[in-house]
């Protein structure tokens, strides 16, 4: 399938462009110290994932306070002063994946770039700065009032882009999460590109597990997508 038909790339941000797993793990290990040494990253992420699936009491990442207490309780860790609020505020320090910034710059030469995230605007603003402000437009849960995979999120984004002269067939949705993005977007008729960030790693990590949906494009890094675009479009 040609990339020539597309005018806009819509991006999941958390997990696709920003390495939230690394950011959360680094904050937790720093806050509890030696108590976390015997626990693997995958075990921590499994508790994180279960907590996120169980609690929907606030918008992301404000709901990480409850998740913090679930994690320290699961492993019997001591509560660190300010640890729960600190997990929320750690968003500003969550790193971009090593290829994100450069790949986004390369892709922006060819397409309008649009963020589509379940994170609140305040968090998205931090992440956009980490990514060196690549977006032409930003859509957050604060705009839509519904979280992906709710189809209303994707309908909102489609409508917003239509006001900018971009029709449905000219949008490629790029994401890591099969559950939040790839499956529902493809069912709704979007063209989708799966960035398999956890390629070679065991399990789903911090992302809710889902049945596999075959994407229209599949890469393990964002740099590979940028390479493929440049190979076709120059």
The string of DSSP codes covering 91-133 is GGGPPBPTTHHHHHHHHHTTSEEEEEESB-HHHHHHHHHHTTS
Residue 98 CB coordination number (10 Å): 12
Is the entire prediction scored with pTM above 0.75?
yes
pLDDT tens digits along 169-186 = 999 999 999 999 999 999
* Three-class DSSP category at 68: helix
State how far the Cα of 189 lies from the Cα of 177, in Å rounded to an integer. Answer: 17
Last residue of a domain, one of 38, 67, 93: 93
**104 within a domain of the structure (yes/no):** yes
Domain membership of residue 122 (yes or no) is: yes
The answer to whether position 28 is within a domain reads: yes
Task: Identify the DSSP state of 218.
Answer: E
Query: What's the domain count of the chain?
Result: 2
- Grade residue 220 by pLDDT with cuts at 50, 70 and 90: very high
Centroid of chain to Cα 86: 20
**Judgement on whether residues 104 and 204 belong to the same structural domain of the protein:** yes
State which of 42, 76, 93 marks the end of a domain.
Answer: 93
pLDDT tens, residue by residue, 86-101: 999 999 999 999 999 9
Element (H, E) at 46: helix 41-54
């Amino acid at each position: 399938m040609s990339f020539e038909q597309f005018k806009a790339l819509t991006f999941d941000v958390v997990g696709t462009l920003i390495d939230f797993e690394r950011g959360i793990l680094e904050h937790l290990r720093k806050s509890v110290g030696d108590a976390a040494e015997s626990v693997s990253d995958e075990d921590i992420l499994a508790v994180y994932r279960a907590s996120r699936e169980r609690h929907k009491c606030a918008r992301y990442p404000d709901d990480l306070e409850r998740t913090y207490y679930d994690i320290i309780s699961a492993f019997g860790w001591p509560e660190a002063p300010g640890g729960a609020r600190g997990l929320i505020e750690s968003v500003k320090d969550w790193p971009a994946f090593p290829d994100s910034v450069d790949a986004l710059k390369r892709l922006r030469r060819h397409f309008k770039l649009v963020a589509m995230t379940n994170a609140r605007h305040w968090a998205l603003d931090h992440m956009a700065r980490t990514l060196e402000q690549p977006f032409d437009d930003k859509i957050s849960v604060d705009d839509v009032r519904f979280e992906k995979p709710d189809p209303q999120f994707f309908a909102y984004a489609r409508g917003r882009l239509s006001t900018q002269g971009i029709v449905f067939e000219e949008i490629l949705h790029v994401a890591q999460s099969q559950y939040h993005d790839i499956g529902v977007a493809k069912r709704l008729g979007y063209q989708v590109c799966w960035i398999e960030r956890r390629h070679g790693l065991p399990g789903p990590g911090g992302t809710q597990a889902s049945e596999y949906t075959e994407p229209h494009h599949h890469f393990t890094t964002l740099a590979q997508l940028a390479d493929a675009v440049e190979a076709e479009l120059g």
